[in-house]
Amino acid sequence: MFDKSKVLFEKACKIIPGGVNSPVRYFKPHPFFVESGNGSKIFTQDGNTLIDYCMGYGAVFLGHNNKDIALEVKNQIDKGNLFCIPTEKEIELAEQCTKIIPGAEMVRITTTGAEATMHAIRLARAFTKKKKIIKFDGGYHGAFDDVIDKAGSGAIEIENVEDGILLDESIKKTLTIPFNDIEILEATIEKDKSNEDSIACIIIEPILANSGLILPEKDYLNKIRKITKDNNIVLIFDEVVTGFRLSLGGASEFFGIKADITTFAKALGNGYPISLITGKKEIMSQLAPIGKVYQASTYAGNPLSVTASLKTLEILSKNKNIIYPKVSKTCDRIVNGIKDIAQDKKIEIAVNSISSMFQVFFTKKLVKNYQDAKMSNINKFNELFKALLYNGGIFIPPSQYETCFISNNHEEEDIEKTLESYDKALTKVKNL
């Protein structure tokens, strides 16, 4: 079924470490290679059609090969794709974002999620003149020293601290604690108060989307907001996944909480490389050239990504009362369908879902943090993944520690085919 992909993977391994350009793309025995995509579907080099629930790890919210966005980008290509001199469209995008994102008084356009979170942390350190950061077990903010230990996503497999790969200085300055446990957070801050270089910021995915999908308990985020205010700690919401996807104004709008700094990427450009650092003017205006916090990039605000983002925001803004209810309904249909199938087959699962995101865990318990996610049966998850891909024509992200993403282009026929495939796949899991 994936014979051509096998040959391509062997070729790739000779010149690309591990045959992939990002480790989460690898799965056993080998990944498939994509020829093209359209709407909710991807077409492999082997001639297979798959319904996609990876959707560029959440980036492609308005479907693969979105014609309206592509047309705008093609028009921009005719005018040039990189100048490294300001363009008016950057102002338009920043203005749009300040209107849409709660708490975004100023906006710096960057290119990748990691770049945005890395500089958000630097800004918080400069603003508070403190050094330590708090992050959460299984939260993922990019592949850099400050945040990679005990991170989610593909980093779960790797113990960088034990292997001596990370700088000792970074390890000491990063405190990692469980998600959804306010008492541990309070105790951590209290214990650290006497330190001269105590906590500069808390960086958090408002919804953990890199340990499977894990939702914040009621009032958890509100309590974090209060604690950070009371202790002069900068609150960074990492909305690289949730931004423009959970709702137009992201998790900040959804939960009604304004962080001090919020980072975005993925759904903003519908797959074109773009990210944002947004936040309070007094913090953001520390950025060079007006402030001392240096942040720079050749591709920042590049015309193609900015054009794609402007069109994405136009589509989302004009149709927000249609798109967000539609993807939620699709998600509910799929999740309820999977729960019914599992119940009929007497398979114990927990399914976490919100808006256009869901994940299945093979466990009796509720999954409320990374430790719970790790206790679920990974072998069963891997069997589900394989059965969906090889027998069901469905591509979900190949790891328990990722999230399934629905786009605006997942339609009724996709839902039906998906549930048929889950039915067959769960029978295989039961017979394991």
Ligand X SMILES: Cc1ncc(COP(=O)(O)O)c(C=O)c1O
Q: Is residue 41 flagged as an active site residue?
A: no
Stretch that binds ligand X, among 27-35, 110-118, 285-293, 412-420 (CB under 6 A): 110-118
Whether residue 233 contacts residue 198, with contact meaning beta carbons closer than 8 Å, is answered with: no
Minimum CB distance to ligand X smaller for 48 or for 117: 117
**C-alpha closest to that of 262 among 182, 201, 176:** 201
Contact assessment for residue 52 and residue 40, using Cβ atoms and an 8 Å cutoff: yes
The pair of three-digit structure tokens given for residue 221, joined into one six-digit string: 């985020």
Query: Is the Cβ of residue 221 or residue 387 nearer to ligand X in the bound state?
Result: 221
What gap in Å lies between CA 422 and CA 337, rounded to an integer? Answer: 9
> Residues 6 or more apart from 53 whose CB is under 8 A from it?
394, 395, 396, 397, 404, 405, 406, 418
Which residues face 358 on adjacent strands? Answer: 353, 404
Interhelix angle for 88-100 vs 303-318, to 10°? 40
Catalytic member of 130, 132, 137, 140: 140
- Which residue's CB is nearer to ligand X, number 205 or number 253? 205
- Rounded least distance, CB 23 to ligand X, Å: 11
Can 345 be counted among the known catalytic residues? no
Phi, psi for residue 395 in degrees, rounded to 5: -110, 110
Residue 167 C-beta-side C-alpha neighbours within 13 Å: 8
Instruction: Name the minimum Å distance from CB 160 to ligand X.
Output: 16
Q: Which of 266, 280, 311, 380 is catalytic?
A: 266
Q: One symbol per residue from 8 to 47: x for binding ligand X (CB under 6 A), - otherwise; what is it?
A: ----------------------------------------
Structure tokens at 64: 């693969």
Applying CB under 6 A, among 5, 48, 76, 210 the residue interacting with ligand X is 210
Is 238 a binder of ligand X (CB under 6 A)? yes
Look-up of token digits 């405190």: 175
Give 2 or 237: the residue with its C-beta nearer to ligand X: 237
Sole binder of ligand X in the list 114, 148, 246, 300 (CB under 6 A):
114
Q: Which is nearer to ligand X, 102 or 113 (CB)?
A: 113
CB of 200 to ligand X, least distance (A): 18
Q: Give me the 121-160 binding string for ligand X, x by CB under 6 A, dash otherwise.
A: -------------------xxx------------------
Q: Find the part of the chain contacting ligand X (CB under 6 A) among 66-74, 119-127, 237-245, 331-339.
A: 237-245
- The site for ligand X, by CB under 6 A, has a size of 15
Residue from 37, 63, 113, 398 touching ligand X (CB under 6 A): that is: 113
Find the helix or strand (DSSP H, E) in which 83 lies. Answer: none
Torsion of CA 244, 250, 254, 258, to 10 degrees: -150
The residue from 44, 110, 117, 369 that contacts ligand X (CB under 6 A) is 117
166, 241, 161, 174: which is closest to 201 by C-alpha? 174
Q: Rg of the Cα trace of the chain? A: 21
Tell me whether residue 422 is one of the annotated catalytic residues. Answer: no
The C-alpha atoms of residue 186 and residue 42 are separated, in whole angstroms, by 46
Taking the least distance from each CB to ligand X, the nearer of 60 and 387 is 60
CA distance 340 to 113: 36
The binding site for ligand X (CB under 6 A) comprises 57, 112-114, 117, 140-142, 205, 209-210, 238, 240-241, 265
Active site amino acids = 140, 238, 266
